[in-house]
Amino acid sequence: MIKDYEDFKEAILKLSSVDLNAYKERQMKRRIDSLIRKNNAKDYEAFVALLKNDKKIYEEFINYLTINVSEFYRNPAQWKVLEENILPYLFDTFSNNLKIWSAACSTGDEPYSLAMVLSKFIPLSKIKIIATDIDKQVLDKARVGLYNEKSIAGLPSEFKDKFFKKNGNSYQIVDEIKKCIEFKHMNLLKDQYPTNCDLIVCRNVLIYFTDEAKNNIYKKFNKSLKKGGILFVGSTEQIIQSSQYQITPVKSFFYKKDGEL
């Protein structure tokens, strides 16, 4: 019997392995209540029954609660810092074979942007980026690599001209860039993280998590990075007291791992 939101969270954890306790409750509950109304379910119990019996509604639910907002080259000034300061440092420190992880990659805008910037330094054949997300639907979209004009509006024209083919009103990313990215399904809250990363990019997702969940993720990012590796976060995600995670700010939104926790 699912009587309230607490019971609902428990049922969702069993059904999907998504732990809603890790998300800020007020905004997440508001989103879920809105989706329940949209699907004409009378209460949490009826909605869980729907999720169990309708794969399409289940996928929509996962897509909805993971809050996918993405665009190429988001916050251009930060990408310029990456290009002009961070990547030269990483190449000098770790050589050209960088291990890069784009966490919570959504529809692929971010890892594809990364590959384009990296192509200014090394051949595309040398670029390998692991890109992960909890939402299988957005990963499917990322693998297709078809985007609207709004998604690529912020990209420098050199990248648009070189790496996209216009397809009606859409833009198809070229296969040479697609081959640089390995997309994988992953839950940041419970799955094993990649190891020995030189660069982790995780932007504009941790704002939705509780402080406890963020604390655990930052600790796991530390373990995932090589000493001297860089964590690149979103423009609303400055890490307070970053030294507790053995990482130090080197530029705004970029943190370097100092040591093991």
- The pLDDT tens digits for 3-34 are 899 999 999 999 988 888 888 888 889 889 99
pLDDT for residue 208: 83
76-257 architecture in CATH? 3-Layer(aba) Sandwich (3.40)
Most confident region among 70-74, 174-178, 236-240 by mean pLDDT: 174-178
In this prediction, residues 93-106 reach a mean pLDDT of 94
Rounded average pLDDT over 120-141: 94
Per-residue burial over 106-132, b = 16 or more CB atoms within 10 Å of its CB, e = otherwise: bbbbbbbbbbbbbbeeeeeeebebbbb
Summarize the confidence of residues 176-201 as an average pLDDT.
96
Per-residue pLDDT at 165 exceeds 70: yes
Query: Token pair of 108, please?
Result: 């692929």
pLDDT digits (tens, 9 = 90+) for 110-126: 999 999 999 999 999 99
Domain regions of the chain by residue span: 5-65, 76-257
DSSP state, residue 193: P
Q: What is the CA angle 59-140-179, rounded to 5?
A: 160
Mean pLDDT for the chain?
92
Look at residue 67 in the predicted model and tell me its pLDDT. Answer: 60
Calculate ∠ Cα 210-211-212, nearest 5°. Answer: 90
pLDDT tens per residue, range 238-255: 898 999 999 999 999 999
CB 165 within 8 A of CB 135: no
